[in-house]
Amino acid sequence: MWAFINKLRSPKWFYAIGARLQPFFWVAAAALILVGTVWGLAFAPADYQQGNSFRIIYVHVPAAFLAQSIFVSMAMCGLVYMVWKIKVADMAAAMMAPLGAAMTFVSLFSGAVWGVPTWGTWWMWDARLTSMLILLFLFLGVIALRGAFSSRDSASRAASVLAMVGVINIPIIKYSVDWWYTLHQPATFSITGRAAMPMEMWAPLLIMVLGFYSFFIALTLMRTRSEILRRESNKRWVRDLAGEKR
Amino acid sequence: MAGSETRLVAGEGRGVSRREPRSGLAVALWATLKRDLLLLMRRRSEVLNPLVFFALVITLFPIGISPDPQLLATIAPGLLWVAALLAALLSLDSLFRGDYDDGSLEQLLLTPQPLPMLALAKVTVHWLLTGLPLALMAPVLGIMLSLPAGSYLVLAFSLVLGTASLSLIGAIGAALTVGLSRGGVLLSLLVLPLYIPVLIFGAGAVQAGIVGDGAAAHLAILGALLALALMLAPWAIAASLRISING
Amino acid sequence: MTLSLQARKLACERDDRWLFEDLDLDIQAGEIVRIEGPNGSGKTTLLKILSGQLADYQGELYWNGAPMREARQAFLESLLYLGHAPGVKGALTPLENLTWYQALAGQRDNEAARLAALESVGLVGFEDVPAGQLSAGQQRRVALARLELTPRPLWVLDEPFTAIDRDGVAALEERLIVHARAGGCVLVTTHHELRNTDELRRVHLGRGGQSHGGF
């Protein structure tokens, strides 16, 4: 455990290990998303109530899952950065935030598109959509706070604290929004209701979720590696690296 | 970082004889409370502005929507709560700003007393002079929105509990942005999403009060949220202040 | 009164720039240590680290032989820090300002001590004037009154001479020497040239030979 943490202290080590892991996750992401898309769109049966429009679930749900996981990972990176002062963790957190906001937006947008055939409107104050909207604001807050500081070290710490505060609040927000939604009892059903889904429907969904996660890991590795180069550009090993490739 | 330091300090008192053990903290807390109250009493406009803002926002709605008492009665719980929440938010930016600008915040961070407790004292003053007056004023504005009878007490009580949580959560945002020259708008962006649970249960309590059923459950949850905020927020505020002071 | 503040291999990196590296310091009772260096060499940052405000450094600090992380409470109880900003509330009178500082230091409410402290910095007659109406130099004097009000062995003063008139500068300098001779210890940054006394020691920050010359 300690040896691993000490290794993580070195951005150089992460840069090297990231280079080895990255291709694996890119291939996995491409394969899983391809299989999931073809299976979900062409072979999975249509929903008996919603027809073919339900197939948007194969984008909506993975994006929503991923967005929430990204916030949690961001907070975990923040904790690691604050406790062990591991800079790579902060770089990863900084790189995750825009991706998380983008994923939240994708899930909101796909939810809105889905709303048209289901509810006949682009927006409904559905419990899940509302929670996702709040999550989007949380992401934007973390990004804005990081951008507001002139000192990068302070920006990193502030963003870490906010991400941790946010992650404690996410379950509370989710629970209270669900409560709020059931109290007001709108006359519609939730788009991703808990109806039992046959295997032919959820198997491609699972594949898509895994594909999205692989994509996230691959992209974060890539972006963190380039961030390492940017921040460490005055370090010896980066200069050696640049000289080597020239 | 900051939290662990203060805890270390608390555990360290054993064995070593010290001149001012527990009483030192009480003296410092009391003095901080008194000082902040005195400061705000000297600048009364800072206390009055959120109240005037609250009344103004409530005035805007009947003008903007409709003076129809029935319509107003349906939306009154939410309106009152949203307006009170915004009014409380308005005053947050100045919570640590004055201390930051004149250097007293540095001094606060360097006292041998635990910073989370001192921060809690400052937040308490903020609540006493913002949240509490807002809660007391809300029933009057409720009359103007023809809020159904029977929910006035719930309204005031839910605001008493709720604004305390709002002050605590908001203080984290205020502490994070105090070192930034233009932190005001950013502060709202950080804090408002975190306010949503309090808003849901606060407005829900008033609505339940109108229906005549379930207000107690809502108030209990508001109390639980407050307890949680009381436990966690002081440490987050302290950590954020330490970050901001070195910005 | 014995005290010692030691730094071993102290280094501080802010935003990928090393402000200083490999700094060894031994500060003993009876010393006035003046931190010198060009603008941006990290004087204020060093003072913030040495006064326990900034935990973001590499190397070790020892207070009376114990690592700072363990001795923090005892350290803070021996420290008096005055920063760039005086820490004086404009809406409060000097007397009220000192009341808060007295309580923060864990002392009992004692108006006689506050009045005596204000007298020592030449603010007789201004005790009940809101500090906002005082001049910058007078406000600085209110802050300096804490040196008398809450006696602490270690003083860390960041530019304490700012805005003070010539008589006040001489008196403060004399006060620093008296404090050091009495077994206290002063860490100070200042643009004011301090008199060379036995107590005075200089620590120079700055990047190698670049520190000399103009801009």
* Cα separation, A38 vs B101, whole angstroms: 60
> What is the per-residue pLDDT for A3?
74
Q: Nearest CA to CA, how far is A134 from chain B (Å)?
A: 6
Adjacent-strand bridge partners of C13 = C18
Q: Any alpha helices (H) in chain C, and if so which ranges?
A: 43-50, 68-78, 94-104, 111-120, 136-149, 166-181
What does the DSSP 8-state code read for residue B247? -
User: Counting beta carbons within 10 angstroms of the beta carbon of residue A210, is it exposed (0 to 12), middle (13 to 18) or buried (19 or more)?
Assistant: middle
Which helix H or strand E contains C157, and what residues bound it?
A: strand C154-158
Specify which residues C189 forms β-bridges with.
C158
Query: Average pLDDT, whole number, for chain A?
Result: 88
Tell whether A79 is within 8 A of chain B (Cβ): no
> How many Cα atoms sit within 13 Å of C2 on the Cβ side?
2
User: pLDDT value at position A244?
Assistant: 66
Residue-level pLDDT at A29: 96
Note the pLDDT tens digit of each residue in C68-102: 888 888 899 899 999 888 899 989 999 999 999 99
How far is CA C10 from each of CA A136, B24, C6, C129, rounded to the nearest angstrom? Answer: 42, 33, 10, 44
Q: Write down the domain spans for chain B.
A: 45-246
Q: Are A165 and B237 in contact (CB under 8 A)?
A: no
Cα-Cα end-to-end distance for chain C: 43
Residues from chain A contacting residue C56 (CB–CB below 8 Å): 153
Sign of CA dihedral C61, C66, C67, C73: negative
Residue B247 corresponds to which amino acid? G
Residues C149, C103: contact at Cβ < 8 Å?
Answer: no
Which tens digit of pLDDT belongs to each residue from B157-210?
Answer: 999 999 999 999 999 999 999 989 877 889 999 999 999 999 999 999 999 999
C interface test, pick of A82, A146, A153, A234 with most C CB neighbours within 10 Å: A153
Block means of pLDDT (10 residues each) for chain B, 247 residues, are 36 39 79 93 90 96 92 93 94 92 91 93 95 96 91 95 97 94 87 96 94 90 96 96 86
Nearest to B232 among A154, A168, A177 (CB): A168
The pLDDT of residue A191: 52
pLDDT of residue B12: 36
pLDDT given at position C20: 83
Q: How far is A152 from chain B (nearest CA, A)?
A: 9
Q: Confirm or reject contact between C56 and chain A (CB < 8 A).
A: yes
B106 vs C85: CB contact, 8 Å cut-off? yes
The answer to whether B29 touches B108, Cβ cutoff 8 Å, is: no
Q: Is the pLDDT of residue A187 over 80?
A: no
For residues B30 and C107, give the distance between their C-alpha atoms in angstroms, rounded to a whole number.
12
DSSP secondary structure, C79-101, as one string: EEEE-SS----TTS-HHHHHHHH
**Is residue A185 scored above 70 in pLDDT?**
no
CA neighbor of C75 nearest in space, from C55, C50, C58, C54: C50
**Cβ contacts of residue B75 below 8 Å, gap of 6+?**
B61, B65, B145
pLDDT at res. B175: 96
Supply φ then ψ for residue C27, to 5 degrees. Answer: -110, 125
Instruction: Provide the pLDDT confidence category of residue A193 given band limits of 50, 70 and 90.
Output: low
Residue C212 scores a pLDDT above 80: no
Whether the predicted pLDDT of C40 surpasses 80? no
pLDDT the model gives residue C208: 41
Q: What is the C-alpha to C-alpha distance for residues C122 and C142, in angstroms, rounded to an integer?
A: 9
Supply the pLDDT for residue B20.
43
pLDDT at C210 over 70: no
- Cβ pair A56, A110 in contact under 8 A: yes
The candidate with the shortest Cα–Cα distance to C80, out of C179, C152, C29, C140, is C152
Residues B237, A144 contacting (CB under 8 angstroms): no
pLDDT tens digits along A71-116: 999 999 999 999 988 889 999 999 999 999 999 999 999 999 998 8
Are C103 and B112 in contact by the 8 Å Cβ rule? The answer is no
Q: Around Cβ C215, how many Cβ atoms within 10 Å?
A: 4
pLDDT at C214 over 70: no
pLDDT at B156: 96
- Asked if A151 has any chain B CB less than 8 Å from its own CB, the reply is yes
CB A125 within 8 A of CB A111: no
Residue bearing the bigger pLDDT, A231 or B169: B169
Give the mean model confidence (pLDDT) for residues C140-167. Answer: 90
